[in-house]
Amino acid sequence: MRRLRLLALALVASLWAPSAALATIAVAQETCTPATGSMSGSATTIVSGSITVSSGSLLVAVATNASGFTISSFSDSVNGTTGWNIAKQVTNAPLTLGMGYRENMASGTLTVTATFSSSSNLRGIKLLEITGAKTSSSIDGTPAGQFQLNVGTGTDAITSGNLTSSNQPAMVVGASMNYGNNKNPAAGTAFTSTRVDWNTDVGGCRLEYKRVTATGTQAATYTGPSTDSWITLVATFDEAAGGGGGPLDGQGFFGQPGLAAIGYGRVYELRGDRLIEKGRP
């Protein structure tokens, strides 16, 4: 009897013990290196920012310049360009806004660099660490982005345009930047945004994000404080398999009716010396 109870304990623990791999996708932190270099000052081809990340994280980088040059690559001080992808960038001279990402980061402190195709002024980079994402093939759908001229102040009128996501749950990440008039957009409906930067020279740049649990059309939206022009981007990243599952119900212990682990498949309870699927007589 005792051996059977220990076996049941090991079986249920292995099936339903919480783990980092089952974590819900979430934003852990955001950092910013504000736009640097004046229009009349010296310029370089790069901009860099530092961050300390956790093992397995997805790292998103958003970079800009006001010289109209594209982003040729993202890289970091540990991996170089290996594993880095450019999700989407839009240039409407003189402003460029681009988003890149790298999956399955190792833990530690590193410096992320965006390299532009030529020397650029008013360079800036923002970094967003996401936990609970897939460690490979996390991008869901084709990232979208666009420039909009003279957008009014209607709710969610600033938009990236649509992408179509095939999986859920997922994290929708947006970035929007004002076209040179130092105006900061408000986050779109249902999005979370913790900070806005670069509110001088280049204008406001805001990242936003939301976790979605349905597939289909997604867009990053914002609301402007006054009529103006914007570049807006969006990408969607899938949650790791099993994320957001249920916890133990806490109503019993082995050998007692009511034991259940919910959200991860079949649920069993121990009745006397037998392990019975919950709900069966």
pLDDT (0 to 100) of residue 60:
98
3-state class (DSSP) for residue 191: coil
Average pLDDT, stretch 177-185?
85
Q: Do residues 144 and 88 touch, judged by C-beta distance below 8 A?
A: yes
Mean pLDDT of the chain: 82
Tens digits of residue pLDDT in 223-240: 999 999 999 999 999 999
CA distances from 84 to 58, 73, 114 (A): 11, 8, 11
Question: Does position 4 have pLDDT exceeding 80, yes or no?
Answer: no
Question: Does position 176 have pLDDT exceeding 80, yes or no?
Answer: yes
pLDDT (0 to 100) of residue 72:
98
Q: Do residues 175 and 198 touch, judged by C-beta distance below 8 A?
A: no
Question: Does position 281 have pLDDT exceeding 90, yes or no?
Answer: no
pLDDT (0 to 100) of residue 9:
44
Residue 94: name the closest of 110, 118, 72 by CA.
118
pLDDT (0 to 100) of residue 263:
38
3-state class (DSSP) for residue 3: helix
pLDDT (0 to 100) of residue 16:
39
Say what percent of the chain tops pLDDT 90: 62
Strands (E), 69-204: 71-76, 84-92, 95-102, 108-120, 123-131, 144-151, 158-159, 163-165, 170-178, 186-187, 196-197
Tens digits of residue pLDDT in 82-132: 999 999 999 999 999 999 999 999 999 999 999 999 999 888 899 999 999
Q: Which residues 6+ apart lie within 8 Å of 280 measured at CB?
A: none
* Cβ atoms < 10 Å from Cβ of 171: 26
pLDDT (0 to 100) of residue 146:
98
Q: Which has more pLDDT, 196 or 236? A: 236
Does 257 sit behind a cis peptide bond, omega within 30 degrees of 0 on the bond before it? no
Residue 15: name the closest of 259, 232, 189 by CA.
259
Average pLDDT, stretch 3-7?
49
Average pLDDT, stretch 195-218?
81
